[in-house]
Structure 1
């Protein structure tokens, strides 16, 4: 299991950004969803994590392992990232059976790569056939031996013949390890094919017939058993057989591995209902069956992370529901990190612990399913999440008799939480949103002042009806019980659930939820990524105005102020962030770095020591290594050479790449000729 961290991840094709400065922290063991429309960058993000796409910029961490950093020249191969991938288009091997497709990732990981198996696979076909004949015909040969022995008393020279044929001790040597050989040669299809070759059995039957019908020919039969051809047939592979059988412990180990592999394959196949398909080829399977084989191939491993690119998209509705439930149960059982790409909202909402909603390569919102549904950060998220879609209408905020309402043209609606909206909107133009299930259609008489709508379409969908309403030129959708008696053409009064109304600023498209300040933080991050530091600072300050006790807003304000060159203002923001959240490691790190920019190395060391202490408490190796390295930098600025070497040693011990970083870091110019420093950076 492992956490996944993306820092400023960027990938573009030509002049088009597939993903741009994407930052995500995926928790260890989390079921994380990448959701968005086609072309939003979700699959590009997944393939970048898998190592199948090389990004243009940023970093990818899997646990404490930096697997991609173009700036540092790091890009680990997919097989070195220990992730199991499930593709949308199956990616099965057409020449392999289902069993072999599922078992393939276990084989290539080295579980069966050893000398004994290599020998068996490299043996020529003739040798293999002869060994199988020996195993399969033991009883027949033993019977012939017995019959030959019975004729010895009546045949002159019978004793000599028996000795020439091969004494019992020698014959038993050939077969004493037949059980071990049977386990080694476990290819049932091959054994079945070889068993069909009855030529040798026929030859032995002929010998038996000759010995029983004509005792006088017994001597000749015995001589035939001794001739050069028979000796070669029995003992040609004697040396190879002895070599194979020599290491019984190794054979037992291989057998144990194969039994374990078979158990894993059977468990995965049972879980996905494909046990009866194990002997088939992919061409003999339906699309849904192929997708389940692809899932089984991932499940059979024990990777750090499962990467799934719309794995259920080709299943029919009933099977998709079943597979979705099985995936959720699987995640609960194994506890491994899942990263799951989909455009299906139902999959995202039902499976995910958290959902990242992407659009045009940028992160629109990150949160729990309940969070993104009930508190959409902006108009895009509100419109993308939910079926039927949210009702969106443009309007103008108006104030009348001390109350604030929304004038949507054909109706006006008074807001219950109007006081909380005052002073928070740049302009009176807003966007009014209400989900269909929160649009209530009242029965009976229409009361004065009610909002009047006409029913013009009814869509029955079982226990519910989707009701399409018209208010003048405005269209709304309501989701009602199928038991409600409604007819097309009826004029009805409607109302809205006051606690479920969404108000968005028309200019910024951001939510103005009184209890949700994070859209302003996200908006500020987006403005900063586009180079608009002034706009970013305004957004962060707006978030702080809504809730002065939110550490993340102060932290991001500090970053923006530092980038703007206001180092003292940045320090004040960072200090406010750590005062609100004393365990905010990143805020302590940035506070230390900004203090060092002002040559306050003592203050920088103090802040970074706090970051180090928290990193150790949280068992965060990456942050710990960074803290040690930064302490080395600030100690160098303070002229503490011995402490510099000590901190660098600890940083490099955790992550060797810091040796290479230190080579280029001007912070160490004062000790660049120090022998101990030279020894340290030579480790890269």
Structure 2
């Protein structure tokens, strides 16, 4: 059983914080993604695990071993990089065999492992080619093969699909996830692409400015974001946010955005416990419907401002006072710029955040 445990992991470059007090337990055979924007600390975290950087403080365990003082070659991890890092003068066969030759494996075992991995990745017919003769997807498979052939305890993957075109990236996401499950190797994957993270991961660790914002399954991250940053980062298009004030009127409670008032009387007992009267109301574009007539007392009047056809669906920007509300609708829904419409939020899917940007509801 191979778990990776990070205890209070911290890394500073001079006075610049890269990672701060990161505590994570990556489970045996799990596919965990480190997700976040550029500069959030995800690649630094991976380099710390690999032994390419030294922690400022904290501990790293791989399996039952504390590896802080072990060099990279002794940590039994294999990295796959964004650039593939293939040796251009070597054939695919030699690229796959290279890490085994460096460790002085017997020739017969090297040949057997290369054969097994090339068959697994369906690159047997490429063994005598050089990297420049391969497509991007083929180069990616060779890079994966060079990691797999070592039979490491842990895979570390740093944005390995980012150089592929969109169509191939979708294909390789599914292939990579299936491969990891077949091999049963604990995998830590770095990406800034939330779609990659949501489709491939068992769990996601979302980082920002070196701080862990939330750890959870893709469903938990999407349905119950811990704070405004998580809610805004995950989702395409991102969640709509409205800065509001708490208002009581005629026995009811509303969140007032200045452009509309939204009835939240059912949450009065929860909201009244928070100091101050400022809250952020959040709702995802896919949890809003629009109609030409007012559908309920909660419906909000707006005007279609911009449309973005995406094939099977359309993203519609609706102007509500000073706010632009993004709505995801089927392509079959008729809409026209300048048309008056009524927006209705799915009450089961709204989110309310306090003045400290933490999730309340």
The answer, yes or no, to whether TM exceeds 0.5 is yes
Structure 1 residue 80 corresponds to structure 2 residue 74: yes
Residue 56 of structure 2 corresponds to: 56
The answer to whether the Cα contact below 8 Å between 1:40 and 1:358 also exists between their aligned partners in 2 is yes
The answer to whether the Cα contact below 8 Å between 2:10 and 2:21 also exists between their aligned partners in 1 is yes
Structure 1 residue 455 corresponds to structure 2 residue 304: yes
Deviation digits for residues 469-488 of structure 1 (CA, Å, limit 9, x no counterpart): 10111111000011111111
Structure 1 residue 376 corresponds to structure 2 residue 228: no
User: How is 1:6-17 mapped onto 2 (pairs within 5 angstroms)?
Assistant: 6-17=6-17
Aligned residues: 361
Cα offset for 1:424? 3.1
Q: In the aligned structure 1, how far is the partner of 2:238 from the partner of 2:308?
A: 14
Q: In the aligned structure 2, how far is the partner of 1:79 from the partner of 1:452?
A: 62
Structure 1 residue 337 corresponds to structure 2 residue 186: yes
After TM superposition, the score normalised by the length of structure 1 is 0.51
Q: Quick one: structure 1 residues 417 and 2, their matched pair in 2 at CA, closer, same or farther if it must change by over 3 Å?
A: farther
Q: Quick one: structure 1 residues 417 and 279, their matched pair in 2 at CA, closer, same or farther if it must change by over 3 Å?
A: farther
The answer to whether the Cα contact below 8 Å between 2:302 and 2:341 also exists between their aligned partners in 1 is yes
1:331 partner SS: helix
1:493 partner SS: strand
1:59 partner SS: strand
Structure 2 alignment gaps of length 5 or more: none
Structure 1 residue 308 corresponds to structure 2 residue 160: no
Deviation digits for residues 113-154 of structure 1 (CA, Å, limit 9, x no counterpart): xxxxxxxxxxxxxxxxxxxxxxxxxxxxxxxxxxxxxxxxxx
The answer to whether the Cα contact below 8 Å between 2:42 and 2:207 also exists between their aligned partners in 1 is yes
1:55 partner SS: coil
1:32 partner SS: strand
The answer to whether the Cα contact below 8 Å between 2:263 and 2:298 also exists between their aligned partners in 1 is no
Cα offset for 1:409? 0.5
Q: Quick one: structure 1 residues 315 and 275, their matched pair in 2 at CA, closer, same or farther if it must change by over 3 Å?
A: farther
The answer to whether the Cα contact below 8 Å between 2:262 and 2:298 also exists between their aligned partners in 1 is no
User: How is 1:348-387 mapped onto 2 (pairs within 5 angstroms)?
Assistant: 348-387=197-236
Residue 265 of structure 1 corresponds to: 117
Q: In the aligned structure 2, how far is the partner of 1:77 from the partner of 1:424?
A: 52
Q: Quick one: structure 1 residues 432 and 339, their matched pair in 2 at CA, closer, same or farther if it must change by over 3 Å?
A: same
Deviation digits for residues 620-641 of structure 1 (CA, Å, limit 9, x no counterpart): xxxxxxxxxxxxxxxxxxxxxx
Cα offset for 1:265? 3.3
2:274 partner SS: coil
Q: Quick one: structure 1 residues 449 and 10, their matched pair in 2 at CA, closer, same or farther if it must change by over 3 Å?
A: closer
Q: Quick one: structure 1 residues 258 and 381, their matched pair in 2 at CA, closer, same or farther if it must change by over 3 Å?
A: closer
Q: Quick one: structure 1 residues 460 and 443, their matched pair in 2 at CA, closer, same or farther if it must change by over 3 Å?
A: same
1:320 partner SS: helix
1:110 partner SS: coil
The answer to whether the Cα contact below 8 Å between 2:283 and 2:349 also exists between their aligned partners in 1 is yes
User: How is 1:238-253 mapped onto 2 (pairs within 5 angstroms)?
Assistant: none
The answer to whether the Cα contact below 8 Å between 1:365 and 1:381 also exists between their aligned partners in 2 is yes
User: How is 1:404-483 mapped onto 2 (pairs within 5 angstroms)?
Assistant: 404-415=253-264, 417-444=266-293, 450-483=299-332
Q: Quick one: structure 1 residues 90 and 428, their matched pair in 2 at CA, closer, same or farther if it must change by over 3 Å?
A: same
Structure 1 residue 510 corresponds to structure 2 residue 358: yes
The answer to whether the Cα contact below 8 Å between 2:114 and 2:149 also exists between their aligned partners in 1 is no
Residue 92 of structure 1 corresponds to: 86
1:413 partner SS: strand
Deviation digits for residues 257-292 of structure 1 (CA, Å, limit 9, x no counterpart): 25522422322440xxx3333222223334443222
The answer to whether the Cα contact below 8 Å between 1:396 and 1:430 also exists between their aligned partners in 2 is yes
Q: In the aligned structure 1, how far is the partner of 2:183 from the partner of 2:24?
A: 23
Q: In the aligned structure 2, how far is the partner of 1:332 from the partner of 1:416?
A: 47
Deviation digits for residues 226-246 of structure 1 (CA, Å, limit 9, x no counterpart): xxxxxxxxxxxxxxxxxxxxx
The answer to whether the Cα contact below 8 Å between 1:288 and 1:316 also exists between their aligned partners in 2 is no
User: How is 1:88-127 mapped onto 2 (pairs within 5 angstroms)?
Assistant: 88-112=82-106
Q: In the aligned structure 2, how far is the partner of 1:105 from the partner of 1:420?
A: 62
The answer to whether the Cα contact below 8 Å between 1:86 and 1:295 also exists between their aligned partners in 2 is yes
Residue 500 of structure 1 corresponds to: 349
Q: Quick one: structure 1 residues 445 and 111, their matched pair in 2 at CA, closer, same or farther if it must change by over 3 Å?
A: same
User: How is 1:186-335 mapped onto 2 (pairs within 5 angstroms)?
Assistant: 255=108, 257-270=109-122, 274-335=123-184
The answer to whether the Cα contact below 8 Å between 2:296 and 2:344 also exists between their aligned partners in 1 is no
Q: In the aligned structure 1, how far is the partner of 2:199 from the partner of 2:273?
A: 34
Q: In the aligned structure 1, how far is the partner of 2:121 from the partner of 2:80?
A: 15
Residue 4 of structure 1 corresponds to: 4
Cα offset for 1:88? 1.1
Q: Quick one: structure 1 residues 414 and 445, their matched pair in 2 at CA, closer, same or farther if it must change by over 3 Å?
A: closer
Q: In the aligned structure 1, how far is the partner of 2:194 from the partner of 2:303?
A: 30
Cα offset for 1:444? 4.2
Q: In the aligned structure 1, how far is the partner of 2:351 from the partner of 2:158?
A: 32
User: How is 1:7-46 mapped onto 2 (pairs within 5 angstroms)?
Assistant: 7-46=7-46
Q: In the aligned structure 1, how far is the partner of 2:191 from the partner of 2:269?
A: 36
Q: In the aligned structure 2, how far is the partner of 1:420 from the partner of 1:329?
A: 47
2:282 partner SS: strand
Cα offset for 1:357? 0.4
Structure 1 alignment gaps of length 5 or more: 69-74, 113-253, 514-684
Deviation digits for residues 3-43 of structure 1 (CA, Å, limit 9, x no counterpart): 01111111111210111111111111111010000000000
Q: Quick one: structure 1 residues 418 and 402, their matched pair in 2 at CA, closer, same or farther if it must change by over 3 Å?
A: farther
1:498 partner SS: coil
Cα offset for 1:446? 7.1
Of stretches 407-416 and 489-498 in structure 1, the one that deviates more from structure 2 is: 407-416
The answer to whether the Cα contact below 8 Å between 2:100 and 2:110 also exists between their aligned partners in 1 is no
The answer to whether the Cα contact below 8 Å between 1:391 and 1:433 also exists between their aligned partners in 2 is yes
